């Protein structure tokens, strides 16, 4: 089968996967599309939102559809780094035992690692996860364990602040997307969620999603093929470089926010890794849309989710991040001329 035929076949699988998850999790088409993009761009996803909007449900639905082995960890204040690596207990004969922990027990079959309420876990735990995300390896028991197919999905409760630990900047930069999952506003969707009993049982909903819809162990190969197949023009490349510079020096592009001293706002703009993530995600968007070349809308469709958490503010403005980051990215998209 030729590369073009493979890409077309996988595109149909990707679109079907997205549609099936959308049947179980209604009213969230943008979130579902972006998680699907990250899956094929081989990036990790951090999802946040109010309590009860379906964050866990949508991530579990994707894990089921992708296939491979799945592992879930609950973020708690007493979770320690070792808890991800090994599990100690006393067996029936009273002897101490050590078993592999959630990161190790599946070996190279680990495809989806779901960290629920990651901001409840201590920074030491987040640091261990950082290496696993970046290198897809962990050292333990005098050897190195590899998880070449692993994607980390995490969610963050943004409502409660007690006994929580904000993710460090380096940890946030490891996530391709930081998505805010809002409550659905469409009245028909709200009516269905409240009055149709099918949407009251999350486990039953997830069971309606076909399991292992794609050959999970080929995701890395198809992801690389997508990146090679989608081309970018010089004008697109200039636009992306302008966006990068605008994240560092917004005033140079006429970007201003009301009530903000723009000269004191930016501590650091997007990183090279962040801009690479932007291009990887944009190419997947173009592929899902059936094209082999990038268009400005491909980039703009993922720009807020890639860029917002990668611009770092000076301490005086960092406390207003939730308000300022969205506004800044919106202004950058408005002021930087797209081809």
Structural domain count, the chain: 2
Boundary residue ending a domain (164, 190, 219) = 219
28 and 142, same domain (yes or no): yes
Instruction: Show the domain range for 318.
Output: 230-335
116 and 250, same domain (yes or no): no
273 and 173, same domain (yes or no): no
146 and 203, same domain (yes or no): yes
pTM: 0.92
pLDDT in tens, 84-108: 998 887 878 888 888 889 999 999 9
- The answer to whether residue 225 is domain-embedded is no
54 and 125, same domain (yes or no): yes
* pLDDT greater at residue 126 or residue 245: 245
Distant-in-sequence contacts of 307-311, Cβ < 8 A, 24+ apart: 307/243, 307/247, 307/270, 307/274, 307/278, 307/332, 308/178, 309/46, 309/172, 309/173, 309/175, 309/178, 310/172, 310/173, 310/247, 310/269, 310/270, 310/271, 310/274, 311/247, 311/266, 311/268, 311/269, 311/270
Q: What is the pLDDT of residue 212?
A: 92
Domain containing 264 — which CATH number?
1.10.8.80
197 and 288, same domain (yes or no): no
pLDDT in tens, 280-297: 999 999 999 999 999 999
27 and 149, same domain (yes or no): yes
124 and 200, same domain (yes or no): yes
36 and 160, same domain (yes or no): yes
């Amino acid at each position: 089968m030729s590369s073009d035929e493979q890409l077309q076949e996988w595109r149909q699988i990707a679109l079907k996967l997205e549609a099936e998850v959308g049947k179980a999790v209604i009213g969230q088409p943008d979130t579902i599309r972006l998680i699907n993009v990250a899956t094929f761009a081989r990036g990790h996803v951090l999802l946040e939102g109010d309590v009860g909007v379906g964050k866990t449900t949508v991530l579990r639905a994707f894990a089921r559809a992708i296939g491979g082995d799945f592992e879930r960890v609950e973020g708690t204040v007493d979770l320690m780094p070792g808890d991800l690596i090994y599990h100690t207990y006393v067996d029936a004969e009273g002897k101490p035992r050590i078993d592999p922990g959630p990161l190790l027990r599946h070996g190279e079959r680990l495809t989806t690692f779901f960290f629920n309420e990651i901001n409840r876990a201590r920074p030491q735990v987040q640091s261990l996860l950082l290496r696993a995300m970046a290198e897809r390896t962990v050292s333990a028991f005098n050897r190195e364990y590899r998880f070449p197919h692993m994607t980390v999905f995490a969610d963050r409760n943004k409502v409660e602040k007690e006994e929580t630990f904000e993710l460090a900047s380096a940890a946030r930069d490891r996530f391709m997307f930081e998505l805010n999952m809002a409550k659905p506003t469409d009245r028909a969707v709200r009516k269905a969620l409240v009055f149709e009993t099918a949407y009251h049982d999350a486990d039953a909903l997830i069971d309606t999603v076909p399991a292992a819809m794609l050959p999970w162990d080929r995701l890395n190969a198809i992801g690389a093929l997508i990146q090679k197949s989608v081309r970018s023009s010089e004008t697109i490349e200039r636009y992306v470089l302008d966006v990068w510079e605008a994240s560092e020096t917004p005033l140079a592009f006429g970007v201003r926010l009301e009530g903000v001293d723009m000269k004191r706002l930016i501590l650091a703009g997007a990183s090279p890794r962040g801009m690479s993530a932007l291009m990887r995600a944009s190419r997947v968007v173009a592929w899902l849309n059936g094209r082999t070349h990038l268009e400005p809308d491909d980039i703009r469709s993922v720009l807020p989710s890639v860029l917002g958490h990668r611009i770092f503010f000076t301490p005086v403005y960092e406390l207003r991040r939730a308000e300022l980051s969205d506004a800044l990215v919106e202004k950058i998209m408005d002021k930087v001329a797209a081809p």
